[in-house]
Amino acid sequence: MLKGKNILLAVCGGIAVYKVVDVASRLRKLGANVHVVMTKEATNFVTPLTFQEISGNPVNVSMWDKVTNWNVEHIALANLADLVLIAPATANIIGKIANGIADDMLSTVIMATKAPVFVAPAMNSNMYQNPITQKNINTLREYNYHIIEPASGHLACGVNGIGRLPEPITLVETIKDYVEKQNNQSLKGKKVIVSAAGTREPIDPVRYISNRSSGKMGYAIATEAASRGAEVVLVSGITNIKAPENVKLIKVESAREMQKHIEEHFADCDITIMSAAVSDYRVKEVASQKIKKSDEVMTIELVKNPDILKGLGEKKSDKQYLVGFAAETQNVEEYAKGKLQRKNLDMIVANDVSQAGAGFNVDTNIAKIITCDGEIKQAPLMQKTELAKLILDTIEEKMNK
């Protein structure tokens, strides 16, 4: 699984250091070449010799240690690493990296590496929840560092709360999952368009018509497609979700804006997945000033928006794969099959949004994946990230036939 991968463990001074010894052992058993760099403070909890015996490699602590294998050791370690895991990541090291400080061996290696860096915060609850710490963590996210959220439970300081370093098996599984995704480049060379979230149609400068879509499903699909090597264009309606890595994000508000950007990219795309909740209607005349309250009843005239999905179905080539979504509250399969045929789709993902765990603004979904050849796959309650994998697996399976 991790055979031949160079994993650098960056170990900081927290009581949870003892768990990282087990992480080193598990990584090595999976075939990884494990290298360890420690802060001076970390050596107060576990000796470098322990990590040296477990990893089978020299442990680096100081910039001024005797040279073992490389001439400029911090640069060599930074270049050697395929992946870096900082664990436990203290508030101190998080603050250093977020602010560009490199004043010891560990922070210098982190600043010099181009490898993906995973950060596993572990500290007292109050320290973790301190606005300064949270700001620094968010800064790392913006720089595409991978944050492994801490667990909750009994902490060394005697309180119960968030701040525990996740168990070694969780840390190792996180790394394995990432490496597996990087190894799976099944969509390399393919261009994928994903639409996500809900659109807004203005009534006046203050009000608008919209829907309950959060965008979580579409963002999960875009993230998964990018991890498989695809060139992904994500055309997104309104959402607070952070943009996925390695994805071209185009933010829009209205249905017509979404249509414009999707059609600009459609001609040379291989797969289009329309998971956005697009407004069916818009206001015929948008008021230039805020409409003031007057009568008990206010009438707004609506006109139909363009059917983006139907338009794509009419122009798609035999080599393009088009996927729609059907969010229903009754007769789910019947309505979805009708939409599949009317709009010339290759596949449709249908769900009953009235079911618990399958509606809007949740992390889970329940769905039926229906393809144009009549096959139906049942997707029971699962995380939207898992459903994204199943959707893309099905697309690849059908396209490769």
Catalytic site residue 157? yes
What does the alpha-carbon distance between residue 388 and residue 58 come to, in Å, rounded to a whole number?
41
Q: CB burial class (10 A; 0-12, 13-18, 19+) of residue 306?
A: middle
CA angle, corner 353, sides to 300 and 279, nearest 5?
Answer: 30
CA distances from 4 to 34, 82, 87 (A): 10, 10, 21
The answer to whether 213 touches 220, Cβ cutoff 8 Å, is: no
Tell me the CA end-to-end span of the chain in Å, nearest whole number. Answer: 28
CA distances from 354 to 127, 191, 277, 334 (A): 40, 33, 16, 16
What does the alpha-carbon distance between residue 76 and residue 285 come to, in Å, rounded to a whole number?
64
What does the alpha-carbon distance between residue 299 and residue 320 come to, in Å, rounded to a whole number?
42
Q: How many residues does the chain have?
A: 401
What does the alpha-carbon distance between residue 282 and residue 305 come to, in Å, rounded to a whole number?
6
Bridge partner list, 281: 304
Rounded to the nearest 10 degrees, the angle between the axes of helix 216-227 and helix 384-399 is 50
Q: In terms of Cα–Cα distance, which of 98, 100, 96, 108 is closest to 64?
A: 108
The binding site consists of 280, 290, 306-309, 325, 339, 343
Bridge partner list, 37: 10, 60
* 173-209 residues labelled b (16+ CB within 10 A) or e (exposed): ebbbeebebeeeeebeebbbbbbbbbbbbbbeeeebb
Phi/psi of residue 56, each to 5°? 80, 10
**Which residues have a catalytic role annotated?**
157
